[in-house]
Amino acid sequence: MSKIIVRGGRKLAGNVKINGAKNAVLPIIAASILGSEGESVIHDAPPLDDVLVINKVLQSLGIEVEYNRQVIRVRAGQINTCEASYDLVRKMRASFLVMGPLLARLGQARISLPGGCAIGTRPIDQHLKGFEAMGADIELGQGYIEAKVKGRLKGAKIYLDVASVGATENIMMAATLAEGTTTIENAAKEPEIVDLANYLNAMGAVIRGAGTGVIRIEGVEKLRGCVHTVIPDRVEAGTYMIAAAITGSELYMEGAIGDHLRPVISKMQEMGVTIEEDENGIRVRATGPLRAVDVKTLPYPGFPTDMQSQMMALLMVADGTSLVTETVFENRFMHVEEFANMNANIKVDGRTAIVSGNSKLRGAKVCATDLRAGAALILAALASEGETEITGVHHIDRGYVDITDVLRELGADIYRSVPQEIEQEVAELGFFNIQPTLA
Ligand SMILES: CC(=O)N[C@H]1[C@@H](OP(=O)(O)OP(=O)(O)OC[C@H]2O[C@@H](n3ccc(=O)[nH]c3=O)[C@H](O)[C@@H]2O)O[C@H](CO)[C@@H](O)[C@@H]1O
Ligand SMILES: C=C(OP(=O)(O)O)C(=O)O
């Protein structure tokens, strides 16, 4: 498996073209299962391992999927099976998002339990509660979850105990073909939910309120393929924004949407980073010293948990002590131990990390324990003295397109031992040597 090698201390400069959002395209691909007529054409689908995996899940169901130059074409007129196998679902939690569409379309779905995970227990009780409220019988056994409904799902009022992104998406997709109206209360409000609702509406669904805490879905008889462009990846953009700040540089995030990044922008401004937004993107400039700030992760529009580790990397080099509180996942501080190997000074007390700033970071051998932790290690390495060697690169490949090439073009001294596309080609040949995901 590949390693990423970084020699820190270089300034960066230039434009970063932000890719389509991983967390938007995955549910959108799953939603394509609902289109019993025509073809769905999904533009700006980023070439990530997660996208390859979910495409394979659809193909394993007998659905036609073509992926070429960031465009995915899905023809789901015929589906051969309602079962998504363990081998694929274990690679990525988001594969579970095919449950709602399959249940709605075929009245039955059998999906392997999504695998264990490093950032928290990540139960799926809220997804199942929603399906049950819509009339599905759920059975668990032999590592699989089976859901069945006689006839169509029935519209229902569903209150989510936690504003889960995945549960909101899964229930919203299932409800599009249900009989009657479904209301999701305490729904997640993330931009990716809005993108999915826009996609479903373009397929013929009737969804209102996406982006607010109450979403109403009027069921329709059938959906058809449509053409859609995926929103830009706010986490990819946020990660490069921190790359600019941590190296005292200036970068322009082309295509990034400021409104999707409000808490990240605000916190970076509080730290003393200059941020300018225009209609095409976001410019980040860091010249002076950075101030410590406290950060608490929350569901959207709060500070995103997917930016917590990267923000922590930046706080390690700020003046003063910062508190980072993780409220979304109960075990998302594994990067702290790796940061400590790089000479950071961080103490964890329950769900809060106390980050002492002004660290003189030093290169070390470290391991990416999950996707964003991996990105945060790259960021810390850019600001470190000496060489950092990062293993666990398969995690990073789940969510960043060519991150080493992009950073090298911006001026970083960074390379990976095996290029991402070669690892993907090997995976495409069928040797899915990507380990089960831990994030
Ligand atoms: C593919 C994708 O979009 N992944 C994102 C999605 O993950 P995902 O959809 O898995 O995250 P959720 O919003 O569901 O999880 C949020 C919290 O709710 C809990 N929970 C969730 C479902 C459930 O049935 N019961 C339950 O208790 C989880 O354990 C977690 O503590 O949102 C997370 C929170 O913004 C992000 O970090 C992930 O990057
Ligand atoms: C946790 C993440 O993704 P996933 O939900 O796919 O594991 C992430 O994108 O940071």
pLDDT, tens digit, 9 for 90 and up, residues 187-231: 999 999 999 999 999 999 999 999 999 999 999 999 999 999 999
Mean pLDDT (whole number) for 307-314: 98
* CA separation for the pair 306, 127 (Å, rounded): 21
* CA separation for the pair 13, 149 (Å, rounded): 56
Q: Is 94 in the pocket of ligand 2 (CB under 6 A)?
A: yes
243 by Cβ neighbours in 10 Å (0-12 / 13-18 / 19+) ranks as buried
Helix (H) or strand (E) holding 41, with range, is: strand 40-43
Q: Looking at ligand 1, which residue's alpha carbon is closest to its atom 4?
A: 23
A 10 A CB-CB count for 381 gives: 30
Ligand 1 binding pocket mutation candidate from 170, 298, 328 (most atoms within 8 A of CB): 328
- Which is nearest to 437 in space by CA: 30, 78, 27, 88? 88
Q: Is 372 in the pocket of ligand 2 (CB under 6 A)?
A: yes
User: What phi and psi, each to the nearest 5 degrees, are found at residue 345?
Assistant: -120, 95
What percent of the chain has pLDDT above 90?
Answer: 88
Least confident range from 4-13, 107-116, 300-309, 429-438: namely 429-438
Least confident range from 78-82, 117-121, 294-298: namely 117-121
> Does residue 430 have a pLDDT over 90?
no
Strand partners, 158: 184
The SS3 of residue 274 is strand
* CA separation for the pair 154, 104 (Å, rounded): 10
β-pairing, 13-17 with 250-254? parallel
Q: Is 125 annotated for ligand binding?
A: yes
Residue with tokens 């030093």: 362
Tell me what pLDDT residue 429 has: 59
Confidence of residue 117 (pLDDT cuts 50, 70, 90): low
A 10 A CB-CB count for 341 gives: 16
Mean pLDDT (whole number) for 388-394: 96
Structure-token pair, residue 430: 């069928």
pTM (2 decimals)? 0.96
Q: Is 306 annotated for ligand binding?
A: yes
* CA separation for the pair 171, 154 (Å, rounded): 12
Structure-token pair, residue 164: 């889960």
Q: Measured in angstroms, how far is the CA atom of residue 144 from the centroid of ligand 2?
A: 22
> Does residue 142 have a pLDDT over 90?
no
Q: Is 10 in the pocket of ligand 2 (CB under 6 A)?
A: no
Give the chain's end-to-end CA distance (angstroms, integer): 18
The SS3 of residue 154 is strand
Amino acid identity, residue 71?
V
Amino acid identity, residue 75?
R
Enumerate the H helices of 61-148 as residue ranges. 86-89, 99-106, 125-133
β-pairing, 35-37 with 223-224? parallel
CATH of domain 22-219: 3.65.10.10
Higher pLDDT among residues 334 and 1, named by residue: 334
- Which is nearest to 146 in space by CA: 155, 157, 137? 137
Q: Is 93 in the pocket of ligand 2 (CB under 6 A)?
A: yes
> Does residue 360 have a pLDDT over 90?
yes
Residue 27: DSSP 8-state: H
Q: Which fold has domain 4-19+232-428?
A: UDP-n-acetylglucosamine1-carboxyvinyl-transferase; Chain (3.65.10)
Can you tell me which atom of ligand 1 is nearest the CA of 124? 24
Mean pLDDT (whole number) for 257-283: 98
| Per-position b or e across 388-401, b if 16+ CB within 10 A of its CB | bebbbbbbbbbbbb
- Among all residues, which ones are annotated catalytic? 117
Tell me what pLDDT residue 237 has: 98
Q: Looking at ligand 1, which residue's alpha carbon is closest to its atom 1?
A: 23
Tell me what pLDDT residue 116 has: 47
The SS3 of residue 12 is coil
Tell me what pLDDT residue 383 has: 98
User: What phi and psi, each to the nearest 5 degrees, are found at residue 117?
Assistant: -155, 150
Mean pLDDT (whole number) for 67-80: 96
Tell me what pLDDT residue 428 has: 64
* CA separation for the pair 24, 21 (Å, rounded): 5
Is residue 45 left, alpha or beta, with left meaning phi > 0 and alpha meaning psi from -120 to 50? Answer: beta
Tell me what pLDDT residue 91 has: 83
Confidence of residue 169 (pLDDT cuts 50, 70, 90): very high
Residues with CB under 6 A from ligand 1: 23, 26, 93-94, 120-127, 162, 164-167, 188, 192, 305-306, 328-329
Q: Is 304 in the pocket of ligand 2 (CB under 6 A)?
A: no
Where do the domains of the chain lie?
4-19+232-428, 22-219
Least confident range from 119-123, 172-176, 313-317, 361-365: namely 119-123
Please tell me if the domain spanning 4-19+232-428 has the same topology as the one spanning 22-219: yes
Q: Measured in angstroms, how far is the CA atom of residue 12 from the centroid of ligand 1?
A: 33
